[in-house]
Amino acid sequence: MPSILAVSTAAPPHRIPQEAIKREFGRLVAGLPHVERLMPVFDRSGVEARHLIHEPAWYLEERSWDERNREYQVRALELAEAAVRRCLEASGLTASDIDHFYFVTTTGLATPSLDALLAGRLGMKPTIRRYPLFGLGCAAGAGALARATDVLEARPNDVALVVSVEICSLVFSKEARTPTDLVGVALFGDGAAAAVLAGDGTGRRGVRVLGTETRLFADAKHLMGWDFTSDGMRLVLAREIPEVVRDTIAPVARAFTRRFGKDVREFTHHVLHPGGPKVMATYRSAFDLPEEALGIARRCMREFGNLSSAAVLFMLSDLTSSGRPQAGDTGLVLALGPGFGAELLVLEW
């Protein structure tokens, strides 16, 4: 059973109140009734503030997609490096100890992928095995943990690094004036996170990964993703996602947790990707969870917004640094993303 040794995060310096973002976006869509009527989404989002790489005024200047993507390459690398350095220090390891490097992102493009650039900056060994993953979206942080677990089960003397970086704000364009664009502006933030995992043979112990599950629902591929346009990425987010969580994801999660002799509500800790207020309400009703089970997710949403693939890692970092988990506690990690896909893990402290 591989273990998670450490989880660390890095957030940009600009912490912007939700009210300020709502005000600036409201000016942009003034005179568009079909968007203006949805402005209360900002107030119902559960977001109080977010960390962005720039102040709001920066995003309201005319910027091409290639300019925004170049900015992504620079800023994402900086954030990822900060998260990794903190994580390595917390784990007691160095970059040269890493055998497998999983790098996930959804909000920018780079070739060479940023993990190759990061490996050089950190001094990783030339035999490092890299796994750059794009397109798993909000599920990718949990998905990378699962894939690292698979490899470490087969190679128990190895160590793996998982890094997620999302600069969601750079997807924004002044042309983003649809209701779905508004939802994206109301929910998403910027941040990076890293986790170090070790196989049993290393003798290092942390939070054990007892099992993982991946599910792809190919008939629901329309629910979530990006449209790629000449002006960059445009968010695809279907309104029926909460119903799919209730009717499709919940039975899968229950079947998965029964393998460990537990119902979903019986886990000590719940690390559930906070897609938005409706999704969190669906988690609670579908799994019969008490309100406190959503505390980690709501806190992440309140302080950082939806961080896409980095969200579950931010929540794990919050949980492990809080001192709340005790020996023998169990945790369920669940994240959803384009595909439509679900990634689940069961943890034990």
Q: What is the pLDDT of residues 75-98, one digit of tens each?
A: 999 999 999 999 999 999 999 999
Q: What is the pTM of this model?
A: 0.95
- Residues 17, 112, single domain; the answer is yes
Torsion angle defined by CA atoms of residues 275, 281, 286 and 292, in that order, rounded to the nearest 10 degrees? 100
Beta-bridge mates of residue 208: 3, 348
Interval 212-233 mean pLDDT: 89
pLDDT at 277 over 80: yes
Number of domains comprising the chain: 2
Q: How far apart are CA 111 and CA 245, in angstroms?
A: 34
Long-range Cβ contact pairs of 215-222 (< 8 A, separation 24 or more):
215/252, 215/341, 215/342, 215/344, 216/339, 216/340, 216/341, 217/244, 217/248, 217/339, 217/340, 217/341, 217/342, 218/339, 220/244, 220/248, 220/339, 220/340, 221/338, 221/339, 221/340
Whether residues 121 and 166 fall in one domain: yes
In the chain, the amino acid numbered 52 is: L
> Is there a single domain that holds both residue 132 and residue 226?
no
Residues 191 and 230 in one domain: no
- The verdict on 337 and 258 lying in the same domain is yes
- pLDDT tier for residue 175 given thresholds of 50, 70 and 90: confident
197 and 246, same domain (yes or no) = no
Instruction: Give the number of other Cβ atoms within 10 Å of residue 294's Cβ.
Output: 19
Domain limit, last residue, from 181, 202, 223? 202
CATH classification at residue 164? 3.40.47.10
The yes-or-no verdict on residue 107 having pLDDT over 80 is yes
Same domain? For 278 and 168 the reply is no
Which of 178, 202, 226 is the last residue in one of the domains? 202
What pLDDT shows up at residue 102?
Answer: 98
Residues 128-144: tens digit of each pLDDT: 999 999 989 999 999 99
> Is pLDDT of 36 > 90?
no
Tokens of 325: 């988990």
Smallest CA-to-CA distance from 267 within 246, 292, 235, 243 is with 292
Domain match, 234 and 150 both: no
Mean pLDDT of 245-256: 94
**Looking at residues 238-256, what average pLDDT do you find?**
92
Strand blocks (E) in 222-329: 224-229, 232-237, 269-272
Q: 330 and 259 share a domain?
A: yes
Q: Are residues 10 and 124 in the same domain?
A: yes
Q: Which residue has the tokens 């939802």?
A: 183
The total of other beta-carbon atoms located within 10 Å of residue 228's CB is 11
Last residue of a domain, one of 152, 177, 202: 202
Nearest residue to 310 via CA among 139, 146, 155 = 139
Q: Are residues 284 and 271 in the same domain?
A: yes
CA distances from 245 to 142, 173, 214, 283, 336 (A): 17, 30, 15, 8, 9
Per the structure, the complete domain to which residue 264 belongs is given by 207-348
Instruction: Verify whether residue 300 is a known catalytic residue.
Output: no
Catalytic residue among 87, 138, 168, 300: 138
Q: Do 70 and 190 share a structural domain?
A: yes
